[in-house]
Amino acid sequence: MKINQQVKILVSEPWDFTSPEENNIFTGVVIDSTNSVFGETYLIKINKPFVMNGLSINYIVVIYRNKDKDSRNLNIAYIPDDVVDQFRKLEEIKDKLKFIIIGSLD
Query: Does residue 65 or residue 43 have the better pLDDT?
Result: 43
Domain total of the chain? 1
Mean pLDDT of 19-47: 94
DSSP state of 17: -
Question: What average pLDDT is seen over the chain?
Answer: 92
Give percent of the chain with pLDDT exceeding 70.
95
Residue 19 placed within a domain: yes
**Domain hosting residue 95, numbered range:** 6-105
Residue 1 placed within a domain: no
- 68: pLDDT strictly greater than 90: no
Condensed to tens digits (0 to 9), the pLDDT of residues 25-34 reads 999 999 999 9
Residue 13 placed within a domain: yes
Q: What are phi and psi of 2, to 5 degrees?
A: -130, 155
